[in-house]
Amino acid sequence: MMAEWLLLAAAPLIGIVIGLMPGLGALFVMLMLYPMLLHVTPWVVVVFYSMIIAARDFSGSVAALGFGMMGEVSAGPALRERAIIQRHNSTRQALMDTMWASQVGVVVSTVLMLAAVAAGATTAGLFRSDVQTVFMLGTVMFLLAWADQAWWKNAMLVAAGYLIGMVGYNMRTSTDFLTFGNTYLVGGIPVLPVILGLYAVPTMLRIANSTAPTTAAEITQQWTMPTSWPSMLRGSAIGAVCGLIPYVGCVITSNLAHWAEQWKNSNSSLDHSLKRLSAAEAANNAAHVTSLIPFIIMGLAIQPSELVLLEVLHTQGVRPQDLAGLVFMIAAGVAVSAAFAGWMCSSVVSSLLTWFKKYYWTIVVTLSVLLLANVAWLGWTSDQTVYYLAVFAISLAVGLLLPRQLDVLPLVLVLLLQNQLDIVLPRFYQFYLS
Amino acid sequence: MRLILSFFCWLAVTTAAWADPITVHIAYSKTGNAQATMRLILDGLEQRGWRFDERATANPQLSNETFNSASQPMLMLWGTDLVPNRAHPAYRPVPTAADLLTVTYVVPRYICAVSNISAEDYANRNRVLTVATTVVPADEQYLTTLNQHLGTRHKIIKYTNSRELEAAVAAREIDVVMTSVGLRLEQQGQVRCLYNTSQFRVGSTPLVTDQHPHMPTRNFAAITYLLVRGLDTATLTRLRQDTLAVQRDYAPYTIYLERNRNPATPLMPDRQVQLIKELYNNIP
């Protein structure tokens, strides 16, 4: 049992590390620890999982704000606000705001989760094909209206994302699509190298060229109150609802909350920027907690990492629904982990910022090398190192050649959702139109 | 000196460890029941001194080509449902006794009622039901054959995998589901299983062929198996013996199969090739 407590104690640190490392998601951590987790008490495994998820979300934003690094699409809003924050030398306030927003998001969604379980609510209706079709089409419409870009530009990006996702062997038809006889293309175009090359790295390079690191003048050890409670609550509400939407919610939530907050706080002042950031951060954390509700109530896995968790439980002959008091354990685990990650990243914020300033380029270069190493490592684990690096290089070239003002996020999000779009829309047709 | 030499001789005889790790290609993605089962077998083998280096390619063609051209010892996880298109370059013919290490997972399909439907209702030509299955072509082919055999016009709705089928059951948007996890759903009180599509009797669920003896496809299930190449005869013999022992005695594996009510354990090696051959006949 001592070893299990140590595992739980290490969970927030593991979460912080995977949040800082692009591509090293919860799925890989769960797979790497799989043989060990088979021998761990089921409730400890579930709490461990919820703790790494809670800590990961916060540290991803720290990397985005501190170094302009983007590990996950959910850190996009932090990157977009970074220029304004840096211009006003307010990284410390932004980090404080993201810490507060994470806590508020976790609290709001945990309350919702407890209420849902206590009320015996079921979210099964959200898995209906017609409901999912509405969500999918709603997401596509949202992306067509993305940013200030012309709708036709967004439509082309959406189509490009869908097309890239289609490449490879299609299990449904047992045929290849746009593989040109290439063996590697049969497995499809790997998503992470495309996202990093096409979107994350070009964005990071632009940021590195246009913003200076934090100045020492603003570095103090004082805790500050959040810029806006209402923004955080609005973000939490959006995130808590989005987290319930199967497959789509967690992918779009922080960008959706950021976009929604722009309606109220639209200018480029620091105040508005921090409010948008707070809303996005709160939404991201809230969504990852409420996305656990179908898992707790019905034993349904939505995220790939949840699937591994479910396999570990099934191997031990346990269903999530059978674990007495599981929701309280998850709630406690999430709260402790988010608080720890927030405390870690915020209480040492002065040291962090001094460190950022002193070793800014060293850290940026190191993290960039790690990012590349991650792509190579992901390729290595699937015996396709050269292919992954080639996809990354080609995507990077395209990303750098694209006009600076073109925001390719619609392409990225559709690429992430392509599998679901490809199956949900034909199913809707089968149900209602055939 | 004699003692030391004896110790090393004893070590050489008893240890099964291969000098370098044996590469294991998984032609599937990283997650899933088949992969979990295979991982348990490898865990059991590692406890007996073997070492493996796992690569999940999610690319059947790449795994197939790498396996066929491997100059080093290699294992590959393959399945009857992976490339069910005989014209596709990644299609693999039925394995032989020489290259089959073992069947890791046998997955019968269960046809289960989500709403209040009996086997008679399912066979009723005047009722049109929504029947959910996965996108695997052989699954749809089987249901189409069953529809034709019974003269029914049930609507077949396709979902990505068994995880999505479970969600569809929870959402109650279908009448009937054909899924590999039917018995588990039945234990949870979510469905009532009407038929087992295979020839493996599991619990009291009737076989399709019990009720409809003239059904053309008599044994329908998916099987995943490990293929092997590049090992010398002595090492291969040891690996086969150890694999059999793991599948028979390694508690995490046997418990997993028992909990999933999976009929892989009783399969003896000589029956395995024959069975895979039989199931390949179901490929459209």
Most confident of A99-108, B160-169, B226-235, B272-281: B226-235
Q: So what's the pLDDT on residue B191?
A: 92
The reply to whether residue A169 touches residue B43, judged by beta carbons under 8 angstroms, is no
Q: What is the pLDDT of residues A271-292, one digit of tens each?
A: 999 999 999 989 988 888 888 8
Find residues 18-57 of chain B whose CB sits inside 8 Å of chain A: 25, 30-33, 36, 39-40, 43, 54-57
Mapped onto helix, strand or coil, the DSSP state of residue A419 is: helix
A117-143 confidence digits (pLDDT tens)? 777 667 777 788 888 888 888 888 888
In a domain, B274, yes or no: yes
Query: A432 pLDDT band (50/70/90 cuts)?
Result: confident
Residue B125 pLDDT more than 90?
A: no
HSE, side-chain direction, 13 A CA sphere, residue A255: 22
Residue A324 in this model has a pLDDT that exceeds 90: no
pLDDT of A163 higher than 90: yes
B195 shares a domain with B138: yes
Number of domains into which chain B is organized = 2
Residues B138 and B180 in one domain: yes
- The C-alpha of A361 sits at a distance from chain B's nearest C-alpha, in angstroms, of 35
Select from B211, B233, B264 the last residue of a domain.
Answer: B211
Q: Please tell me whether residues B52 and B124 are part of one structural domain.
A: no
Q: Test B136 with A171 for CB contact under 8 angstroms.
A: yes
Contacts of A309 in chain B (CB under 8 A): none
Residue B7, pLDDT score: 47
How many beta-carbon pairs under 8 angstroms link A with B?
128
As a whole-number percent, the residues of chain A with pLDDT over 70 amount to 84
Please check whether residue B271 lies inside any domain of the structure. yes
Token code pair at residue A9: 């104690």
The three-point CA angle A344-A347-A350 to 5° equals 115
| List of residues 6+ apart from B93 with CB closer than 8 A | B280
Q: B189 and B118, same structural domain?
A: yes
Helix (H) or strand (E) holding B221: strand B221-229
Judgement on whether residues B90 and B121 belong to the same structural domain of the protein: no
pLDDT in tens, B239-255: 999 998 998 889 888 88
A178-205 pLDDT per residue, tens? 989 899 999 899 888 888 888 878 877 7
Range of the domain at B138: 110-211
| pLDDT given for residue A147 in this prediction | 67
Cβ <8 Å between B252 and A38: yes
**B132: domain CATH number?**
3.40.190.10
Mutate to test the interface with A, among B62, B67, B186 (most CBs of A within 10 A): B62
Last residue of a domain, one of B188, B211, B234: B211
Reported as a single tens digit per residue, the pLDDT across A2-34 is 788 888 888 888 887 777 665 556 776 777 777
pLDDT at residue A211, as a whole number? 54
Say if residue B49 is in the same domain as residue B98.
Answer: yes
- What pLDDT is attached to residue A318? 73
Domain CATH code at residue B71? 3.40.190.150
Give a yes or no: residue B15 inside a domain.
no
Q: Do B57 and A172 lie within an 8 Å CB cutoff?
A: no
Residues of A in contact with B61 (CB under 8 A): 169, 183, 186-187
Q: Which residue has the higher pLDDT, A136 or A167?
A: A167
The answer to whether ipTM exceeds 0.85 is no
Most confident of A66-75, B25-34, B163-172: B163-172
The mean pLDDT value of chain B amounts to: 83
Top residue of B46, B52, B59, B153 to mutate, by most chain A CBs within 10 Å, is B59
Return the pLDDT at B156. 92
Please state which of the ranges A207-221, A321-335, B155-169 shows the lowest mean pLDDT: A207-221
Taking the CA of residue A8 and the nearest CA in chain B, the distance in Å comes to 23
* Nearest CA-CA distance, residue A318 and chain B, Å: 10
The whole-angstrom distance between residue B184's C-alpha and the CA centroid of its chain comes to: 16
Residue range B272-280: mean pLDDT, rounded: 78
Q: For residue A218, what is the DSSP state?
A: G
Contact in structure between A254 and A76 (CB atoms under 8 Å)? yes
Nearest CA in chain B to A130: B173
Task: Please give, rounded to a whole number of angstroms, the shortest distance from the CA of B164 to a CA of chain A.
Answer: 9
Nearest-Cα distance to chain B for A91, in Å, is 39
CB count within 10 Å of CB A383 equals 19
Distance from CA of A128 to the nearest CA of B (A): 6
The CA distance from B180 to B166, in Å, is 10
User: Looking at the domain assignment, is residue B78 inside a domain?
Assistant: yes
Chain B nearest CA to A191, separation (Å): 13
A378-396 residue pLDDT tens: 888 888 999 999 999 999 9
Q: Is residue B76 part of a domain?
A: yes
Residues B53 and B118 in one domain: no
Taking the model in full, what pTM does it have? 0.76
Cα dihedral A117/A118/A124/A125 (nearest 10): -130
Task: Please name the member of A38, A172, A187 whose beta carbon is closest to the beta carbon of B158.
Answer: A172
Q: Are residues B116 and B203 in the same domain?
A: yes
First CA to last CA across chain A, in angstroms?
A: 56
Q: Looking at beta carbons, which residues of chain A come within 8 Å of B130?
A: 431
- Looking at the structure of chain A, the number of domains it has is 1
Same domain flag for B183 and B227: no
One domain, residues B248 and B227 = yes
Q: What is the span of the domain harbouring residue A110? A: 2-433
Which of B:123-182 have CB within 8 Å of A?
A: 130, 135-137, 155-160, 163-164, 166-168, 170-173
Cα A431 to chain centroid, rounded? 32
Separation between Cα atoms, residue A24 and residue A280, nearest integer Å: 22
For residues B260 and B184, the answer to whether their CB atoms sit within 8 Å is: yes
- B9 is a domain residue: no
pLDDT, tens digit, for every residue of B176-200? Answer: 999 988 888 888 888 999 999 988 8
Asked if residue B203 and residue B115 are part of one domain, the reply reads: yes
Q: Closest to A427 (Cβ–Cβ): which among B158, B166, B172?
A: B158
CB neighbours of A324 closer than 8 A, spacing ≥ 6? none
Of residues B84 and B49, the one with the higher pLDDT is: B49
Question: Is A314 within 8 Å of B164 when comparing Cβ atoms?
Answer: no
